[in-house]
Chains A and B, each alone.
Chain A
Amino acid sequence: MTLPYPPNTAVMNLPRRDAKDKLLGRTRYTVDESSHGMLHAAARRSETASGRIVKIDVTPALSMPGVKAIATREDAPGLHGIGIADHPLFAKDVVRYHGEPLAVVAATTLAQARAAAAAILVEIDPIAPILTMAEALAKDAPLIHPDWASYEILREGAARGGNIAWEATVVRGDTDAAFARDDVILVEGTYRVGRQSHVPFEPRAVVAAYEDGRFHIHTSTQVPWTVRHVTAKILGVPEAAVHVTVPAVGGGFGLKFDCSLEPFAAILARKTGRKVSLVNSRREEQMTCLSRENADILIRSAVTPEGDIVGREATVLMDCGAYGGEQVFLTTMTAHTLGGNYRLGSVKIASQAVYTNTPPNGAFRACNGVYNTFALECHTDEICKAIGMDPVAFRRRNVVGDGDIGATGQVFEGDVLGPMLDLAIDTYGPHERAKKGPDGRLYGRATTVGTWFIFVGPSSATVNLNVDGSATLVTSGVEIGSGTMVQSLPQIVAANLGIHPDAVIVKTADTDASGRDLGVGGGRTTVSIGAASQEACAEVRSKLLAVASQMLQTPQDDLVLAQGRVEIRDRPGSGTTIQTVIAQAELEHGPISGSGAFTAPGIPAMPGCAAGHFIDAIDIPVFAVHDCDVAVDPDTGKVEVLAYRVIQDVGRALNPRAIHGQIQGGVTQGIGYALHEEITINAEGAFDQTGFSSYRIPTALDTLPIDYHLYEGAPSCGPLGTKGAGEVPILNVGATIACAVANAIGTPVNALPLTAPRVLGLIDGLSSGVDLAHLSRHWHENTIAFSE
């Protein structure tokens, strides 16, 4: 697409317009909402991980001071979900996880609501919970969803059954033949990762009202249109009866990429006729966090002595917890993450979401990609060891380039990863041998590659050109902290219209005002909303220039928009202000506005390769090369990251300084994931880590200045060639640190997080490894679709 303006006019380090109020403590997040007469709600949650509900009696609670209404399972009979509708709002006949909502109470004060919630009489007959995927997949394991076959299917095409909520498979080429070759070396790796909690500083929170027969939901979400859809579905009302608005969101990281507390508050608002605020306590937020899922991963590869990967088989088990949720969708991603990075002669991948009696999981920044990249890159280093090849040389030989095909048979365009790897080694120097330092610590380094994507899909935008020469951008975008709504979007609109970004008013999400959108996540805002905005601007431009062309007696093609003026090309000062043109346009046609839309361009995959996938091919791949140095203390197992370097494929960097902020923040979250953020599930099926005292997120002393290089010029269908830059920085942090630690201690690493005790166990040789006895080495036996 040729642009009607030089793309560099959109590039600048525009500061955030929302920073000042945030620094002054004036920004009102959902948790800060209050108004006269607003009620406060509290949930009663199950303290049993699995059991049959004998009784829920709200009578004593209803008569307690301040109580206005209580909602229970009778108020929300419907089921919702992604791919399959398996999830009730309240536990119905059985509870399936510790923390599952049983009732919500609205009362005058929060203390009254909590007291009443605690007074609800609950009787549950406990059933032995299934807490691990190994137990869930055991022969004769009880079914967590005995009625799975009767659930409404929201997307066709996946194999399901037993405790497997969803299965996505990839089969391309003949791996049996590849593994049977007599010249190949077989390498097998087993990996296990734990959960990661997002810990947004603003917990999930909502204020709901019921006005004029419609629900107004003011909420801390990344997905206003999902909230609208799911709330309507659960309440059994038309979607048009739900109105969603979103103020500044105090952190999301994917946690808020699903409907959560909103329907509870909506029901209570309708029952009471009052505004109802429902905010998770930190303990609730932590213990019911829709975490990055724990996963078990088996990879087997057939590699030639020269270093060609002729066959790869992998099975990835993703714990979805008690309900399918986001993991059903995320089974799709394994093909593109674990199946990514490298040219594969033949490949079979199974990716399954497995039910357990644990809190449901969800989406978290580069979901699925983070741990599959960890497993893939550790496995890659183990291959290099097995065939005696340098890990960088092996990667350079095998990374996908122009014309290569991916796991599902899509054809990649452009050489990106190869040159990025070259740049890394040219810049950071070749690897030296791992060594013991004079301080007794073990030093190691690793360089890894990663493949991620932009989650495109539908977005819409309207641009209104105002008489004062400003423009109002109306979209369903949400400012979750990443800055897209206050930086890249106004920059794109301003460049299109020849005005300063400060003259672009950005309306935040309001489903009554803005068009449908898939939500803020998956690195999609700049790309999808940006593309829709650019299309809206094109309509505005053409209307504006048509009028200006008459006024200036100049063909439209010879007019340019710059600095708030319409000028005749190459003759600065020759034209007029856009306000003058807008005034003329109002006289002739009325106010100027434009609308634009965007959706997935739909890159093809190889027919028949992929089954059970939501996306068969990735429209905009994003690549990353990470490199780090670590030191490991052999006495304590503590890992220190000494240097961390990122080369990130950004397409075009619209706001380099803001991208730096995303890289610094994303890598730091990745350091937490790699080293000390740990969730353990106890015998009751509850998380041991209930708050900041036990869940260890990085402090200022746990990170370091991240060295970064923004790699520009890779192909992208995003506006101005952009790719989202906020999600991918976390992608290969776990992988890179793990590979560097393995390099330092001379022992393969097969689990995350690398807490000091785990590393010390590896050094001492005490760790029994990750055996994954519940997975067969005959790939088809792990699948539903291909098992005989």
Chain B
Amino acid sequence: MVLTLMINGDPVPYHGDPRRSLLEVLRDDLHLTGAKDVCGEGFCGACIVQIDGVPKVSCLLPVGRLAGAEITTIEGVSNSETLTAVQKAFLEYDVVQCGMCFPGMVLSMTHFMAENPSPTRAELKSAMTGNICRCTGYERIIDALLSLGSNGLGPVEEVRP
């Protein structure tokens, strides 16, 4: 099958089995390795990308269904000069550990925060259930997101020598 994928604003021709997952195509063909292949069953959220602005698990999306869709991967959400507010909050609250879950976490929670600018802790936790993290125990990620709220980025403690 031949089709054109729109990935991070660029048209990308695809020739091959339309049943392959978007995740395989991103990682193996296009070397966009930001989306991670972790569980392969849609449970962990490490492969989440946005399809027309909506976070979905790319391991369960066949590329054959994506002609015409706007696909945004972690590589497409920002560049190192302009981090998104969610990325900034994660950076300033020092919440990253091994880092494998964060591309998916960023794409999920950026969407959620855009739709719910002042969420409660409980709402944030429910929204995060499809983004599993084995390192952090989540709560500090929630703290970082709560700092975004309507009051903008909260103060960040850092003791310098």
Residues of chain A having any CB pair with chain B under 8 Å: 9, 11-16, 18-20, 22-29, 31-32, 34, 110, 198-202, 248-251, 253, 281-282, 480-483, 494-495, 500, 563, 657-658, 660-661, 664-669, 691-693, 697-701, 703-706
Contact segment of B61-69, B127-135, B147-155? B127-135
Q: Is the CB of A251 within 8 A of B134?
A: yes
* Contact of B140 (CB < 8 Å), options: A15, A18, A198, A660: A660
Name the 4 nearest CB pairs between A and B, nearest first. Answer: A25-B34, A481-B98, A22-B99, A668-B137
Q: Is B120 an interface residue (CB 8 A)?
A: no
Q: Is the CB of A251 within 8 A of B37?
A: no
The distance in angstroms between the C-alpha atoms of A77 and B71, with both chains bound, is: 49
> Residues of B contacting A500 with CB < 8 Å?
160-161
Asked if A692 meets B106 with Cβ closer than 8 Å, knowing A25-B75, A201-B44, A700-B129, the reply is: no
Q: Is the CB of A18 within 8 A of B40?
A: no
Q: Which residue of A lies closest to B128 (CB)?
A: A700
Q: Is the CB of A691 within 8 A of B33?
A: no
Q: Is B5 an interface residue (CB 8 A)?
A: no
Q: Is the CB of B158 within 8 A of A13?
A: yes
Q: Is the CB of B96 within 8 A of A16?
A: yes
The distance in angstroms between the C-alpha atoms of A700 and B36, with both chains bound, is: 19
Q: Is the CB of B161 within 8 A of A664?
A: no
Q: Is B73 an interface residue (CB 8 A)?
A: yes
CB pairs A–B below 8 angstroms (13 shown):
A12-B159, A19-B90, A19-B91, A19-B96, A20-B91, A23-B103, A24-B74, A25-B75, A28-B33, A250-B98, A481-B99, A700-B126, A704-B139
Q: Is the CB of A23 within 8 A of B102?
A: yes
Q: Is the CB of B90 within 8 A of A23?
A: yes
With both chains docked as a complex, state the minimum distance between the C-beta of B35 and any C-beta of chain A, in angstroms.
7
Residues of chain B having any CB pair with chain A under 8 Å: 27-28, 31, 33-41, 43-44, 46, 73-75, 78-80, 83, 87, 90-92, 94-103, 106, 124-126, 128-129, 131-132, 134-140, 142, 157-161
Q: Is the CB of B136 within 8 A of A665?
A: yes
Asked if A692 meets B160 with Cβ closer than 8 Å, knowing A248-B99, A657-B94, the reply is: no
The distance in angstroms between the C-alpha atoms of A695 and B132, with both chains bound, is: 12
> Residues of B contacting A110 with CB < 8 Å?
28
The distance in angstroms between the C-alpha atoms of A73 and B91, with both chains bound, is: 48
> Residues of A contacting B129 with CB < 8 Å?
699-701
- Chain B contact residues: helix, strand, loop or mixed: loop
With both chains docked as a complex, state the minimum distance between the C-beta of B52 and any C-beta of chain A, in angstroms.
20
Q: Is the CB of A700 within 8 A of B125?
A: yes
The distance in angstroms between the C-alpha atoms of A435 and B4, with both chains bound, is: 64
With both chains docked as a complex, state the minimum distance between the C-beta of A39 and any C-beta of chain B, in angstroms.
13
Q: Is the CB of B96 within 8 A of A480?
A: no
Q: Is the CB of B46 within 8 A of A201?
A: yes
> Residues of A contacting B98 with CB < 8 Å?
200-202, 248-251, 480-481
Q: Is the CB of B134 within 8 A of A697?
A: yes
> Residues of B contacting A495 with CB < 8 Å?
161
With both chains docked as a complex, state the minimum distance between the C-beta of B19 and any C-beta of chain A, in angstroms.
12
Q: Which residue of A lies closest to B33 (CB)?
A: A32
Q: Which residue of B lies closest to A657 (CB)?
A: B94
> Residues of B contacting A706 with CB < 8 Å?
137, 139
Q: Is the CB of A661 within 8 A of B99?
A: no
Q: Which residue of A lies closest to B90 (CB)?
A: A23
Q: Is the CB of B97 within 8 A of A15?
A: no
Name, among B43, B80, B128, B160, the residue most crowded by chain A CB atoms within 10 Å (CB to CB): B43
> Residues of B contacting A25 with CB < 8 Å?
33-35, 73-75, 102-103
The distance in angstroms between the C-alpha atoms of A253 and B135, with both chains bound, is: 9
> Residues of B contacting A669 with CB < 8 Å?
134, 137
Q: A201-B134, A202-B98 provided; 16 other pairs, C-beta below 8 A? A: A12-B161, A16-B94, A22-B96, A24-B78, A25-B35, A25-B73, A26-B75, A201-B46, A201-B101, A481-B97, A482-B97, A660-B140, A668-B136, A693-B39, A700-B128, A706-B137
Q: Is the CB of A705 within 8 A of B80?
A: no
* Contact of B132 (CB < 8 Å), options: A11, A15, A481, A699: A699
* Contact of B96 (CB < 8 Å), options: A14, A18, A28, A705: A18
Q: Is the CB of B134 within 8 A of A15?
A: no
With both chains docked as a complex, state the minimum distance between the C-beta of B9 and any C-beta of chain A, in angstroms.
16
Q: Is the CB of A199 within 8 A of B139?
A: no
The distance in angstroms between the C-alpha atoms of A19 and B158, with both chains bound, is: 15
The distance in angstroms between the C-alpha atoms of A138 and B158, with both chains bound, is: 60
Q: Is the CB of A658 within 8 A of B94?
A: yes
The distance in angstroms between the C-alpha atoms of A251 and B96, with both chains bound, is: 12
Asked if A12 meets B160 with Cβ closer than 8 Å, knowing A24-B34, A480-B98, A664-B136, the reply is: yes
Asked if A15 meets B94 with Cβ closer than 8 Å, knowing A22-B99, A691-B41, the reply is: yes
Asked if A11 meets B159 with Cβ closer than 8 Å, knowing A199-B134, A701-B126, A706-B139, the reply is: yes
> Residues of B contacting A700 with CB < 8 Å?
124-126, 128-129, 131, 138, 142
Q: Is the CB of B134 within 8 A of A200?
A: yes
The distance in angstroms between the C-alpha atoms of A480 and B96, with both chains bound, is: 11
Q: Is the CB of B37 within 8 A of A31?
A: yes
> Residues of B contacting A15 with CB < 8 Å?
91-92, 94, 158
* Contact of B80 (CB < 8 Å), options: A20, A664, A691: A20
> Residues of B contacting A563 with CB < 8 Å?
161
Asked if A201 meets B137 with Cβ closer than 8 Å, knowing A691-B39, A691-B41, the reply is: no
> Residues of A contacting B160 with CB < 8 Å?
12, 500
The distance in angstroms between the C-alpha atoms of A667 and B83, with both chains bound, is: 31
* Contact of A24 (CB < 8 Å), options: B36, B80, B100, B136: B80
* Contact of A664 (CB < 8 Å), options: B43, B90, B137, B157: B137
Q: Is the CB of B94 within 8 A of A13?
A: yes
With both chains docked as a complex, state the minimum distance between the C-beta of B133 and any C-beta of chain A, in angstroms.
8
Asked if A494 meets B92 with Cβ closer than 8 Å, knowing A27-B99, A703-B139, the reply is: no
> Residues of A contacting B38 with CB < 8 Å?
201, 282, 692
The distance in angstroms between the C-alpha atoms of A421 and B59, with both chains bound, is: 48
Name, among B31, B74, B97, B125, the residue most crowded by chain A CB atoms within 10 Å (CB to CB): B97
Q: Which residue of A lies closest to B40 (CB)?
A: A282
Q: Which residue of A lies closest to B103 (CB)?
A: A25
With both chains docked as a complex, state the minimum distance between the C-beta of B104 and any C-beta of chain A, in angstroms.
9
The distance in angstroms between the C-alpha atoms of A28 and B36, with both chains bound, is: 11
> Residues of B contacting A198 with CB < 8 Å?
134
> Residues of A contacting B87 with CB < 8 Å?
23-24
Q: Is the CB of B136 within 8 A of A661?
A: yes
With both chains docked as a complex, state the minimum distance between the C-beta of A250 and any C-beta of chain B, in angstroms.
4
Q: Is the CB of A692 within 8 A of B34?
A: no
The distance in angstroms between the C-alpha atoms of A22 and B124, with both chains bound, is: 21
The distance in angstroms between the C-alpha atoms of A190 and B143, with both chains bound, is: 41
Q: Which residue of B lies closest to A202 (CB)?
A: B100
Q: Is the CB of B46 within 8 A of A483?
A: no
The distance in angstroms between the C-alpha atoms of A234 and B132, with both chains bound, is: 37
With both chains docked as a complex, state the minimum distance between the C-beta of B49 and any C-beta of chain A, in angstroms.
10
The distance in angstroms between the C-alpha atoms of A482 and B136, with both chains bound, is: 9
The distance in angstroms between the C-alpha atoms of A45 and B24, with both chains bound, is: 24
The distance in angstroms between the C-alpha atoms of A407 and B118, with both chains bound, is: 54
The distance in angstroms between the C-alpha atoms of A590 and B39, with both chains bound, is: 53
The distance in angstroms between the C-alpha atoms of A16 and B95, with both chains bound, is: 9
The distance in angstroms between the C-alpha atoms of A483 and B96, with both chains bound, is: 9
Q: Which residue of B lies closest to A479 (CB)?
A: B98
Name, among A19, A201, A483, the residue most crowded by chain B CB atoms within 10 Å (CB to CB): A201
With both chains docked as a complex, state the minimum distance between the C-beta of A252 and any C-beta of chain B, in angstroms.
8
Q: Is the CB of A692 within 8 A of B134?
A: no
With both chains docked as a complex, state the minimum distance between the C-beta of A504 and any C-beta of chain B, in angstroms.
12
With both chains docked as a complex, state the minimum distance between the C-beta of A563 and any C-beta of chain B, in angstroms.
8
The distance in angstroms between the C-alpha atoms of A281 and B41, with both chains bound, is: 12
* Contact of A201 (CB < 8 Å), options: B36, B83, B126, B140: B36
The distance in angstroms between the C-alpha atoms of A23 and B79, with both chains bound, is: 10
With both chains docked as a complex, state the minimum distance between the C-beta of B16 and any C-beta of chain A, in angstroms.
11
> Residues of A contacting B35 with CB < 8 Å?
25
With both chains docked as a complex, state the minimum distance between the C-beta of A254 and any C-beta of chain B, in angstroms.
12
The distance in angstroms between the C-alpha atoms of A691 and B124, with both chains bound, is: 25
With both chains docked as a complex, state the minimum distance between the C-beta of A214 and any C-beta of chain B, in angstroms.
27
With both chains docked as a complex, state the minimum distance between the C-beta of B34 and any C-beta of chain A, in angstroms.
2
Q: Is the CB of A250 within 8 A of B139?
A: no
Q: Is the CB of B39 within 8 A of A665?
A: no
The distance in angstroms between the C-alpha atoms of A668 and B139, with both chains bound, is: 10
